[in-house]
């Protein structure tokens, strides 16, 4: 029994497996684009299928597809949306052709599954054709970017949840550590006393801002160019389809999409994707800075800052017994490096579009979707595997402050600059604390010194912190 079938296009013929649901265009693309060894993001495929289903529903309503064909296409789409035939989407994520191969892979799989539903042999495109029926009134140039925006919107839900979890976890730590006095540093040098709670409160605030920025950028993604077909002029799309396809698509999507007022603009300009990528880079930068701080504050444990203790997640060395490394902050920073690099690629992809179309959407979507996945996973592991179980080395932090030169700052409003400088000089020479010398020489009344050197005074009353 022959296990292959022959398909033909304007370039010639190709032999395909007889049971393949993809067709000749997909076969050629799989031969041409052996690039990343990564296939299209599942959400990109899923949302292209949703668009095909919505188009078939509209065409059936407008008698542009008969019930037999339309129902078969809709049923095929439902099968794929239910998780069937996932192994038939074989196109490399990085591809030439502005996403045409991705679109055709979807068209061909839907067409052949529709044929199977109707009892027809796979590849019998005279009955249901990938281009004429599944892709009717569409172009890669409006299907692919619309599916890209839908995939991003859907994936951002997980990132939003991860950011909220991180914000909540940091808030809990800011309250837990509100009375932990520590050395505040500028340029890595001892500066002023602060509290560990305030440090974590500041981290929580910046994460909350990153969350709000992601919420704000989503509105740009809900405007789509579906219905514009090839260049935004809606060539080959009926007026009924043009007005009904987005409302129909909205019936199967979690947030309302709206058709762009200027479809030509929406087809050629990808600035909304650039804005998303930029915000992802911002989040990456923020969490990497946070991770760097955690590594510094936990450094040691004997010869470092030793202000906090990260949870021990795994043995840190193959040669040094007992060594525990800050592996979670380390992996988060590596994710940040990748996301920042992805943003640079996205920048080039957006900039390189020419005239009525941008041909570089495949790498753009691959990088943005990858960045969202990476950030979501990294932020979750930072919250769960690091921050929620951080403990404070409270006594060590207090001792570091009390024996630090920064205590002189509490006295400077009451002493001359020269007196304060001389006090620090003597403290360093005698290897004692400024605090001890202040009491020894009775530079101020004892009660006043005790107040100035109290924890509440040094950190400006932590109970009133805005955390």
What was the pLDDT predicted at 427? 84
Does pLDDT of 41 surpass 90? Answer: yes
Specify the CATH architecture of the domain 4-136.
Orthogonal Bundle (1.10)
| Average of per-residue pLDDT across 84-101 | 96
What was the pLDDT predicted at 458? 79
Does pLDDT of 467 surpass 70? Answer: no
Nearest to residue 18, comparing CAs of 124, 97, 103? 124
Token pair recorded at residue 383:
């919250």
| Average of per-residue pLDDT across 148-164 | 98
Of the pLDDT bands very low, low, confident and very high (cuts 50, 70, 90), residue 462 is very low
Token pair recorded at residue 42:
């599942």
Q: What is the Cβ-side half-sphere exposure of residue 170, based on CA atoms within 13 angstroms?
A: 25
| Average of per-residue pLDDT across 361-381 | 97
Does pLDDT of 464 surpass 70? Answer: no
Q: Rounding to the nearest 10 degrees, give the CA dihedral for residues 59, 65, 67, 68.
A: -140
Nearest to residue 226, comparing CAs of 414, 62, 415, 48? 48
What was the pLDDT predicted at 410? 80
Query: What is the end-to-end Cα distance of the chain in Å, rounded?
Result: 73
Nearest to residue 75, comparing CAs of 53, 103, 105? 53
What was the pLDDT predicted at 465? 37
Gap between the Cα atoms of 359 and 161, Å rounded: 33
| Average of per-residue pLDDT across 404-431 | 84
Kind of pairing between the strands at 189-195 and 308-309: unpaired
Token pair recorded at residue 25:
């265009």
Rounded to two decimals, the pTM is 0.92
Q: Are 206 and 173 in contact (CB under 8 A)?
A: no
Token pair 């409160």 is at which residue? 201
Token pair 């809900």 is at which residue? 222
Q: Residues 181-232: pLDDT tens digits?
A: 999 999 989 888 999 999 999 999 999 999 999 999 999 999 999 999 999 9
Gap between the Cα atoms of 141 and 444, Å rounded: 77
Which residues, in sequence order, are CB contacts of 368 under 8 Å at separation 6+?
148, 152, 273, 276, 277, 280, 342, 346
Domain boundaries, the chain: 4-136, 142-394, 405-464
For residue 50, cis peptide bond before it (omega within 30 degrees of 0): no
Q: Rounding to the nearest 10 degrees, give the CA dihedral for residues 91, 93, 97, 98.
A: 130
Gap between the Cα atoms of 357 and 263, Å rounded: 12
- The residues pairing with 391 across neighbouring beta strands, listed in sequence order, are 309
At the topology level, CATH places domain 142-394 in: Fumarase C; Chain A, domain 2 (1.20.200)
Nearest to residue 24, comparing CAs of 149, 108, 150, 112? 108
- From residue 106, how far is each of 81, 86, 137, 159 by CA, in Å? 12, 11, 15, 27
Gap between the Cα atoms of 87 and 254, Å rounded: 26
* Residues known to be catalytic: 317
Gap between the Cα atoms of 413 and 443, Å rounded: 12
Token pair recorded at residue 58:
């509209």
What was the pLDDT predicted at 1? 62
What was the pLDDT predicted at 391? 96
- Specify burial of residue 189 (Cβ count, 10 A radius: 0-12, 13-18, 19+): exposed
At residue 284, φ and ψ (nearest 5 deg) are -60, -45
The rounded percent of the chain whose pLDDT value lies above 70 is: 98
What was the pLDDT predicted at 409? 79
Gap between the Cα atoms of 249 and 147, Å rounded: 11
Does pLDDT of 333 surpass 90? Answer: yes
Gap between the Cα atoms of 388 and 168, Å rounded: 10
- From residue 289, how far is each of 174, 283, 343, 434 by CA, in Å? 17, 10, 18, 32
Q: Residues 63-82: pLDDT tens digits?
A: 999 999 999 999 999 999 99
Q: Are 391 and 308 in contact (CB under 8 A)?
A: yes
Nearest to residue 99, comparing CAs of 59, 128, 154, 138? 138
Q: Report residue 8 CA to chain centroid gap.
A: 41
Q: Are 277 and 342 in contact (CB under 8 A)?
A: yes
- From residue 240, how far is each of 58, 69, 73, 140, 227 by CA, in Å? 8, 19, 19, 20, 10
Nearest to residue 40, comparing CAs of 100, 113, 123? 100
Does pLDDT of 142 surpass 60? Answer: yes
List of E strands, 127-283: 181-186, 189-195, 223-224, 258-259
Specify the CATH architecture of the domain 405-464.
Orthogonal Bundle (1.10)
What secondary structure letter does DSSP report for 406? Answer: G
Q: Residues 269-324: pLDDT tens digits?
A: 999 999 999 999 999 999 999 999 999 999 988 888 999 999 988 786 778 877 88
What secondary structure letter does DSSP report for 354? Answer: B
Least confident of 40-44, 312-316, 396-400, 447-451: 312-316
Which residues, in sequence order, are CB contacts of 156 under 8 Å at separation 6+?
214, 218, 372
């Amino acid at each position: 029994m022959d296990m292959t079938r022959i398909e033909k296009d304007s370039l010639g013929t190709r032999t395909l497996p007889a049971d393949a649901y993809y067709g000749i265009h997909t076969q050629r693309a799989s031969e041409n684009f052996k690039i990343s060894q990564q296939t299209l993001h599942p959400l990109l495929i899923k949302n292209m299928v949703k668009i095909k289903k919505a188009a078939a529903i509209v065409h059936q309503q407008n008698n542009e597809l008969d019930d037999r064909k339309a129902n078969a296409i809709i049923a095929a789409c439902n099968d794929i949306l239910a998780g069937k035939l996932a192994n038939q989407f074989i196109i490399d994520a990085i591809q030439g052709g502005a996403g045409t191969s991705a679109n055709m892979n979807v068209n061909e799989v839907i067409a052949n599954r529709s044929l199977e539903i109707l009892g027809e042999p796979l590849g019998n495109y005279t009955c249901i054709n990938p281009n004429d029926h599944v892709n009717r009134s569409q172009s890669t140039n409006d299907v692919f970017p619309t599916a890209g925006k839908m995939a991003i919107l859907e994936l951002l839900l997980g990132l939003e949840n991860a950011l909220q979890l991180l914000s909540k976890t940091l808030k809990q730590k800011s309250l837990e550590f509100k009375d932990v006095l520590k050395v505040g540093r500028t340029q890595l040098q001892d500066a002023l006393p602060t509290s560990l709670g305030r440090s974590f409160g500041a981290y929580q605030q910046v994460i909350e801002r990153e969350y709000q920025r992601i919420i704000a950028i989503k509105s740009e993604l809900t405007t789509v160019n579906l219905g514009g077909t090839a260049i935004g002029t809606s060539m080959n799309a009926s007026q009924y389809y043009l007005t009904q396809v987005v409302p129909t698509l909205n019936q199967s999507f979690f947030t309302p999409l709206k058709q762009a007022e200027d479809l030509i603009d929406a087809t050629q300009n990808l600035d909304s994707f650039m804005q998303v990528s930029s915000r992802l880079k911002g989040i990456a930068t923020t969490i990497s800075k946070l991770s760097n701080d955690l590594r510094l504050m936990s450094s040691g444990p004997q010869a470092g800052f030793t202000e906090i203790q990260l949870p021990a997640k795994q043995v840190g060395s193959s040669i040094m017994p007992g060594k525990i490394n800050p592996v979670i902050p380390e992996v988060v920073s590596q994710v940040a490096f990748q996301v920042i690099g992805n943003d640079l690629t996205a920048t080039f992809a957006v900039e390189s579009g020419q005239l009525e179309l941008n041909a570089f959407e495949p790498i753009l979507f691959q990088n943005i979707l990858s960045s969202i996945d990476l950030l979501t996973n990294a932020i979750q592991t930072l919250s769960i595997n690091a921050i929620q179980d951080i403990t404070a080395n409270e006594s060590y932090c207090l001792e570091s402050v009390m024996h630090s030169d920064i205590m002189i700052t509490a006295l400077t409003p009451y002493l001359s600059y020269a007196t304060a400088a001389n006090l620090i000089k003597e403290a360093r020479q005698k290897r004692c604390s400024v605090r001890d010398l202040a009491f020894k020489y009775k530079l101020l009344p004892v009660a006043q010194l005790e107040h100035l050197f109290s924890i509440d005074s040094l950190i400006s009353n932590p109970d009133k912190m805005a955390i």
